[in-house]
Amino acid sequence: MTIKRFTIIIFLCFLAALFNNSLIFLSYHVDEFPLYLDTVFTSAIVFTLGLLPGLITVIFTWLIGIIQEGNVHPYIISNITEVFLIWSLSPLFIIKKIIKKQGTPVSTFAGLLLLYITCCITMSVLSGIIDHVYYNILARSRPFFNPEDFFKLYLMHSNAPELLTNILSRIPVNIVDRFIVIFGGYFISRGLKKFI
């Protein structure tokens, strides 16, 4: 890899992190925008450039978020996991590995749909566990009202266990935001590939 290409990749990762943080800012400060879209541009980077640039984008996003919001949180674990899921289950990579050629639009859509469902389930379970450990067991204070808290309040009235409540409350939010992250990231990556 040339120095020029390396510099371009780092610049794109940093730019993606800035865009991710602008979406984080919207989700925290605009009431009508209660989604977690902090990995839309990370997924675009993974689809375009692969695993390592995706991980670099996650780290940049997390560090910029700490500077911007002053809030250190453990959800970077979810973001790293999602990068690995996108990289390992991406139809772009699977099709090329198995049949050594580009996939059809139908196979690509089916692969993206499978990836979306996998990410939706995995992020709900993993983020629910992180939430439970960080805020319930370690008793950290919540800096703000999160999107899933609307559903959590309803589930708590039905006397569901706290861990189960933390996981189930994330599913309605993740059904929407993981769709945007996976499909939005894929379409952004198509534009990025033309640019690169």
Q: In CATH, what number does 3-195 get?
A: 1.10.1760.20
At residue 94, the pLDDT reads: 58
**CA–CA distance, 169 with 146 (Å, rounded to integer):** 11
pTM: 0.87
Per-residue pLDDT at 69 exceeds 90:
no
Number of Cβ within a 10 Å radius of residue 105: 7
Mean pLDDT, the chain, whole residue set: 85
Taking residues 33-51, report their average pLDDT. Answer: 89
Angle at 122 between CA 120 and CA 125, to 5 degrees: 105
What's the pLDDT tens digit per position in 117-138?
A: 999 999 999 999 998 898 888 8
Structure tokens at 79: 């973001």
**CA–CA distance, 130 with 116 (Å, rounded to integer):** 20
Comparing 32 with 3, which gets the higher pLDDT? 3
**CA–CA distance, 142 with 36 (Å, rounded to integer):** 16
Query: pLDDT-derived band of residue 41, with 50, 70 and 90 as boundaries?
Result: very high
At residue 137, the pLDDT reads: 87
- What's the distance, Cα to Cα, between the start and end of the chain in Å? 14
Any idea how long the chain is?
A: 196
Backbone phi and psi for residue 57, each to the nearest 5 degrees, phi listed first: -65, -40
At residue 144, the pLDDT reads: 64
What's the pLDDT tens digit per position in 86-105?
A: 998 886 665 555 545 566 78
Cα 51 → chain centroid: 14
In the chain, what are the domain boundaries? 3-195
Q: Identify the CA nearest to 9 among candidates 38, 67, 64, 51.
A: 51
Per-residue pLDDT at 21 exceeds 80:
yes
Comparing 160 with 164, which gets the higher pLDDT? 164
Of all residues in the chain, the percent with pLDDT exceeding 70 is: 85
What's the pLDDT tens digit per position in 172-185?
A: 889 999 999 999 99
| Cα–Cα separations (whole angstroms), residue 65 to 46, 114, 148, 169 | 20, 30, 20, 24
Per-residue pLDDT at 30 exceeds 90:
no
